[in-house]
């Protein structure tokens, strides 16, 4: 740990409580999408928002704490602090979730444990071309961890200008197009290069968020319009003809990144005399509570349906006269959501109280050395 006499405050960015409210909404869009299997990809709205938010927050930390190559002397030591803080925040709860999944047991974890212990589950799913039972969501965590590893180096190369990050975002779209044409479109979106448009868009927002033109666009109607265009793209590529669905796979994260950009700009916008953003609902105590525990909600949300399904099959065996009908009833979307929601919130609350909050306090002991 760096001595406190030469350290900077642990929190590198201004605390924005509205982000907790946004996290709560985004994570439950993902959860409800997975639990209900809706035809419309509502969960993708949450995932895109989270990736854009990661690009925004991590870029801000790296730039403010100067932990990238080319920063003033000592950047390597500050980079080690950055990684230590990320490890403490992310990995212990994740490994606990893996242990619970192994105890359930989940077959994919037992067959390929190394791919999950190290941040490569996204590559495993690409290799298998299917999701593992109860563990499919861990690909996003693998991508995030790979992003943490490479992003400080990329920021050192690209500087703090908008154009290189727009080029990087275009590179993400180009990668998906080339990979789809030369190899396969299946599972291409789980690869880190295919996600660069979302991370780069977050970095762009970090650079331009206070510019007058961005502030003018940071309004609710523009956010609604952006997501409406995104929804329209889904409708045009899925409802009119299945032959257009590959166009959706190529472009929806890029278009969604624009919507995520405007959403975050609106959430982060500071009220002024001319405009009062109508995002105060994000400060509601329920959303704040869930937002602080959103990581736990995400970690465990696919374990519970597996447990629930196995319990229902045991309680209502096929030999029971009404067994099939009862199974169909309890495993329908509405009963599943009603039963699993309180269980998930209880698990997330326990994870926060007994693991994540103590780790947050420990993480704050790792402070950044002065440049």
pLDDT at 12: 44
Kindly write down the DSSP assignment for every residue of 113-181, as one continuous string.
HHHHHTT-HHHHHHHHTSPPTTTTTHHHHHHHHHHHHHHHHHHHHH-S-HHHHHHHHHHHHHHHHHHHH
How far is Cα 65 from Cα 67, in angstroms, rounded to an integer? 6
Of residues 255, 258, 124, 249, the one with CA closest to residue 177? 249
> Are the C-beta atoms of 165 and 205 separated by less than 8 Å?
no
pTM comes to 0.93
pLDDT at 275: 67
Site of tokens 């196995």: 310
Give me Rg for the CA atoms of the chain. Answer: 21
Burial of 130 (0-12, 13-18, 19+ CB in 10 A): exposed
pLDDT at 39: 87
End-to-end CA distance of the chain, in Å?
16
How far is Cα 316 from Cα 279, in angstroms, rounded to an integer? 46
How far is Cα 73 from Cα 69, in angstroms, rounded to an integer? 10
Tell me the average confidence (pLDDT) per consecutive run of 10 residues in the chain, 371 residues long: 34 74 98 93 96 97 94 92 95 97 94 96 96 95 97 95 97 95 88 97 97 93 96 87 78 96 93 72 96 98 96 91 91 96 98 96 88 70
Helix (H) or strand (E) holding 87: helix 75-103
Kindly write down the DSSP assignment for every residue of 138-152, as one continuous string.
HHHHHHHHHHHHHHH
pLDDT at 13: 58
- Between vectors from CA 107 to CA 102 and to CA 110, what angle results, nearest 5°? 55
pLDDT at 125: 97
> Are the C-beta atoms of 62 and 68 separated by less than 8 Å?
yes
């Amino acid at each position: 740990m760096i001595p406190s006499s030469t350290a900077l405050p642990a929190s590198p960015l201004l605390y924005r409580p509205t982000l907790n409210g946004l996290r709560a909404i985004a994570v439950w869009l993902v959860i409800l999408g997975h639990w209900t299997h809706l035809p419309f990809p509502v969960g993708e709205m949450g995932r895109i928002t989270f990736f854009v938010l990661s690009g925004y927050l991590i870029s801000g930390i790296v730039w403010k704490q100067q932990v990238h190559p080319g920063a003033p002397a000592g950047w390597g030591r500050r980079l080690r602090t950055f990684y230590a803080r990320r490890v403490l925040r992310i990995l212990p709860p994740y490994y606990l979730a893996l242990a619970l999944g192994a105890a359930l047991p989940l077959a994919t974890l037992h067959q390929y444990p190394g791919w999950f212990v190290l941040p490569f589950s996204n590559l495993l799913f690409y290799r298998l071309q299917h999701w593992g039972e109860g563990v499919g969501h861990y690909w996003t965590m693998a991508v995030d961890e790979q992003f943490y590893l490479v992003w400080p180096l990329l920021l050192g190369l690209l500087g703090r200008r908008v154009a290189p990050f727009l080029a990087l975002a275009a590179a993400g779209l180009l990668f998906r197009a080339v990979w789809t044409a030369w190899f396969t479109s299946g599972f291409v979106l789980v690869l880190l290069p295919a996600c660069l448009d979302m991370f780069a868009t977050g970095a762009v927002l970090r650079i331009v968020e206070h510019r007058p033109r961005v502030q003018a666009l940071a309004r609710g109607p523009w956010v609604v319009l952006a997501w409406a265009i995104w929804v329209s793209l889904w409708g045009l590529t899925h409802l009119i003809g299945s032959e257009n669905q590959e166009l959706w796979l190529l472009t929806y994260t890029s278009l969604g990144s624009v919507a995520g950009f405007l959403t975050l700009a609106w959430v982060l916008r500071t009220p002024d005399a001319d405009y009062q953003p109508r995002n105060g609902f994000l400060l509601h105590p329920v959303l704040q509570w869930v937002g602080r525990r959103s990581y736990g909600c995400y970690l465990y949300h696919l374990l519970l349906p597996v447990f629930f399904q196995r319990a229902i099959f045991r309680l209502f065996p096929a030999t029971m006269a009404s067994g099939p009908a009862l199974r169909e009833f309890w495993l329908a979307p509405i009963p599943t959501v009603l039963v699993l929601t309180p269980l998930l919130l209880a698990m997330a609350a326990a994870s926060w109280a007994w693991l994540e909050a103590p780790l947050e306090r420990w993480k704050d002991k790792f402070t950044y050395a002065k440049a």
